[in-house]
Amino acid sequence: MTRNSDLQVLMVQAQLSWKDPAANRDHLAELLAGAKGPFDLAIFPETFTTGFLGDTDLPVEDMHGSTVQWMQSMARQHGAAMAGSVVIVEQGQRYNRFILVTPEGSVQHYDKRHLFAFGGENKRYMDGKQRLVWNWRDWRINPQICYDLRFPVWCRSRNDYDLQIFVANWPEKRVAHWMALLRARAVENQAYVIGINRVGADGNGLAYPGRSQAYDPLGNCLADLQDSEQTQLVGIELGQVDEIRQQFPFQADADGFTLDQS
């Protein structure tokens, strides 16, 4: 049976201020206010309040802090879900945490599994232990953060999600990998894939190229935000996921496996 539910997704490709959560929240609120049309879900980049590894010497935030409260306020104001990753401290440990706040009031989170050891992320944060699928408005959503994109086993569908979201601070020098892997995840999992990257440079001198993109379950590109700060609406259709999987039932031939999440 084909499921019927459409979402208007606002892709928010932003330039982030280094180590300035209040400025970033205000700036993102302005980008939301300037959206060209109503939306159901807004997606921000990875570590959207601080920049990547930009939380040193800042006051810590928990799940009751200023950023989660801001996301809740934006969700109420726009009648839409808000999603993106934030540095959260819980029981003395830091996490790069993907947070989804819905207009209905629920707050869900996923902690980044694959920490970017090449950049020292593993020395600052704790890795997540659970692969998650969130259910919202009939959509099954799999959250992922940046470096997770390079690990297809972790990203692999067990016919359990319809939309996979990646939020990132993906650097310019490896942007070709970003685009190739986003499309690959859509094709191999017959799912919508949306990747949101930032633009501009951070306090460590790394440049970020944007190229936030959305793909349908056949790997067709629905949106490419190129290299400038902007927002863009993209419509996704749950019925298309079912139709493509019924027409091309490739997942029935997939290899079974067990994922060790320890």
Domain assignments of the chain as residue spans, ordered by start:
6-251
What is the rounded average pLDDT of the residues 160-172? 98
What residues contact 110, with CB distance under 8 A and at least 6 apart? 97, 98, 128, 130, 132, 143, 144, 145
- From the list 19, 112, 121, 155, the catalytic residue is 112
How far is the C-alpha of 208 from the C-alpha of 229, rounded, in Å? 11
Single out the catalytic residue among 46, 61, 121, 155. Answer: 46
Q: What is the pLDDT of residue 261?
A: 79
CA 20 to chain centre: 21
- Sheet of 213-215: strands edge to edge? 134-136, 139-145, 163-167, 192-196, 213-215, 221-224
pLDDT recorded at residue 2 = 66
DSSP letter (8 states) at residue 120:
T
Does 104 qualify as catalytic in the annotation? Answer: no
User: Can you give the pLDDT at residue 259?
Assistant: 84
Specify whether 46 is catalytic. Answer: yes
pLDDT digits (tens, 9 = 90+) for 181-216: 999 999 999 999 999 999 999 999 999 999 999 999
* Two structure tokens written together for 57: 């010497």
pLDDT of residue 3: 80
pLDDT score recorded for residue 236: 98
Tens of pLDDT, residue by residue over 20-37, are 999 999 999 999 999 999
In the annotation, is 112 catalytic? Answer: yes
Model pTM above 0.85: yes
What's the average model confidence in pLDDT over 36-45? 97
**pLDDT recorded at residue 134:** 97
**53 contacts: CB under 8 Å, gap ≥ 6:** 47, 119, 120, 121, 124, 204
C-alpha dist (Å) from residue 190 to 113, 138, 183, 253: 23, 17, 10, 13
- pLDDT, tens digit, 9 for 90 and up, residues 133-146: 999 999 999 999 99
Q: Looking at the domain 6-251, which fold is it?
A: Nitrilase/N-carbamoyl-D-aminoacid amidohydrolase (3.60.110)
Render pLDDT for 44-85 as a digit per residue (tens, 0 to 9). Answer: 999 999 999 999 999 999 999 999 999 999 999 999 999 999
Q: Exactly one of 19, 61, 121, 146 is catalytic; which is it?
A: 146
